[in-house]
A and B are shown apart, each in its own frame.
Chain A
Amino acid sequence: RKEVEQDPGPFNVPEGATVAFNCTYSNSASQSFFWYRQDCRKEPKLLMSVYSSGNEDGRFTAQLNRASQYISLLIRDSKLSDSATYLCVVNRGSGGSYIPTFGRGTSLIVHP
């Protein structure tokens, strides 16, 4: 089983739709959690960190369920510019360092 698993998609949605991505992780010692966005042939960029209490940034809401080892990302009112690959990233501590483990990413295509 992969350490971080994501549905690769693609998710093909119309503008204005609400879409949700899920991510599960296997290491219960994982300590911090993030969603990154990666555009085609570009570098990943941090979208938001994920907290147990849930956090929201505009149209984006992230949620963490430590008991189920599950992370989610909800995008409301999708825009064409939201089309990208969304990477779930889980950090585990390792002797004073933090080792990020990436999921393979979920592809989102927003169409007119």
Chain B
Amino acid sequence: EAGVTQFPSHSVIEKGQTVTLRCDPISGHDNLYWYRRVMGKEIKFLLHFVKESKQDESGMPNNRFLAERTGGTYSTLKVQPAELEDSGVYFCASSRRLAGSFYEQFFGPGTRLTVL
């Protein structure tokens, strides 16, 4: 079974530019999460999709961040315009349909974003 994949693995952009990160979850996983880890800090939840619907986006920092999951398959996270504080590692994770209170999330390798 193929794992969660993310593209690109690294991105270096200038402040004010736009960047789009992509996540391909494990096939058949309805749940898709985005997280961010800023250097020296803990991993922070950004948002959760169930299929194509945003279930919870309470962790999105501000309206410069836009996540989509058209068709309920892959997801994109766009940052426009990027600011210096957006630098960090962006992880995507997926899991099977929620069953009770436990589910295992499988993480992708992350996209390392550097904003100069």
Does A99 contact B42, Cβ atoms closer than 8 Å? no
Nearest A residue to B59 by beta-carbon distance? A99
Q: Using Cβ atoms and an 8 Å threshold, which residues of chain B touch A95? A: 55-56
Does A31 contact B101, Cβ atoms closer than 8 Å? yes
Residue with the highest number of chain B CB atoms closer than 10 Å, among A4, A43, A49:
A43
Query: Bound state CA distance, A96 and B100, in angstroms?
Result: 10
Does A102 contact B56, Cβ atoms closer than 8 Å? no
Residues of A contacting B: mostly: strand
Query: Bound state CA distance, A99 and B31, in angstroms?
Result: 12
Residue from the list A46, A97, A101, A102 in contact with B48, Cβ < 8 A: A97
Does B101 contact A44, Cβ atoms closer than 8 Å? no
Does A32 contact B56, Cβ atoms closer than 8 Å? no
Query: Bound state CA distance, A104 and B38, in angstroms?
Result: 11
Q: Using Cβ atoms and an 8 Å threshold, which residues of chain A touch B101? A: 31-32, 91, 93, 98
Q: Using Cβ atoms and an 8 Å threshold, which residues of chain B touch A96? A: 50, 55, 98
Q: Using Cβ atoms and an 8 Å threshold, which residues of chain A touch B48? A: 97, 99
The answer to whether A46 and B104 touch (CB under 8 A), given A96-B55, A102-B43, A102-B44, is yes
A59 within 8 A of B: no
Does B45 contact A42, Cβ atoms closer than 8 Å? no
Does A32 contact B55, Cβ atoms closer than 8 Å? no
Query: Can you list 28 pairs linking A and B with CB atoms under 8 Å apart?
Result: A4-B42, A32-B101, A32-B102, A42-B109, A43-B107, A43-B109, A43-B110, A45-B107, A46-B105, A49-B102, A87-B43, A91-B101, A94-B56, A95-B55, A96-B98, A97-B48, A97-B98, A98-B103, A99-B45, A99-B48, A99-B58, A100-B33, A100-B45, A100-B105, A101-B45, A102-B43, A102-B45, A103-B42
Binding site for B on A (CB under 8 A): 2, 4, 31-32, 42-46, 49, 87, 91, 93-105
* New contact pairs (12) apart from A43-B107, A103-B42, CB-CB < 8 Å: A32-B102, A91-B101, A97-B55, A98-B101, A99-B56, A100-B33, A100-B45, A101-B45, A102-B35, A102-B42, A102-B43, A105-B42
